[in-house]
Amino acid sequence: MSFTVFLGNLPIWVTADDIKQWLAAEDLVADAVKVIRNHETQESKGFAFVEAPTAEEMQSIIRRFDRAPLEDRLLRANPAQPPKGKEALRGPGTQPAAAPSAVRVQQRPPDRKRRGRDREQTPRSAFAAELAKVL
């Protein structure tokens, strides 16, 4: 069983080493610390996950860091939620998602005009008609 703490509202400069030092200063134990970063810029997204060895240690980390002040903000700490996969997002008993183009066609109301290259070429106003002549 996993005892993971979500630690949020972190400044972007916070690293995993910083969090480990904070935990050590409070005599708290963590198996792993992962600061979540933007894949392109490698800048912190402002949250991290802390793996605790026991449920009691997880609760101690939460009690210590939830609403703890850091700079001009209050940290958030709570039990991490399990990741939501595609199945969880669709819900039980739903059909697998169709290809994106098929979804678009199914969702379009039948009386709606098509956009893009199939758009009707006749102008809708006198101004548009004059503009079309000039262009």
Q: Which residues contact 95 (CB under 8 A, 6 or more apart)?
A: none
**Is the separation of the CB atoms in 71 and 11 below 8 Å?**
yes
User: pLDDT tens, 45-85?
Assistant: 999 999 999 999 999 999 999 999 999 999 999 999 988 87
Which option is the CATH number for 3-79: 3.30.70.330, 3.30.465.10, 1.10.3720.10, 3.90.1150.10? 3.30.70.330
Residue 86's pLDDT is 57
Domain ranges in the chain are: 3-79
**Is the separation of the CB atoms in 14 and 48 below 8 Å?**
yes
Residue 2's pLDDT is 80
Say whether pLDDT at 130 is over 70.
no
Q: What are the tokens at 7?
A: 């630690």
pTM exceeds 0.75 for this model: no
Mean pLDDT of 78-103: 62
Q: Smallest Cα–Cα separation from 5: which of 56, 74, 45, 72?
A: 56
Provide the CB-side half-sphere exposure for 30 (13 A, CA).
26
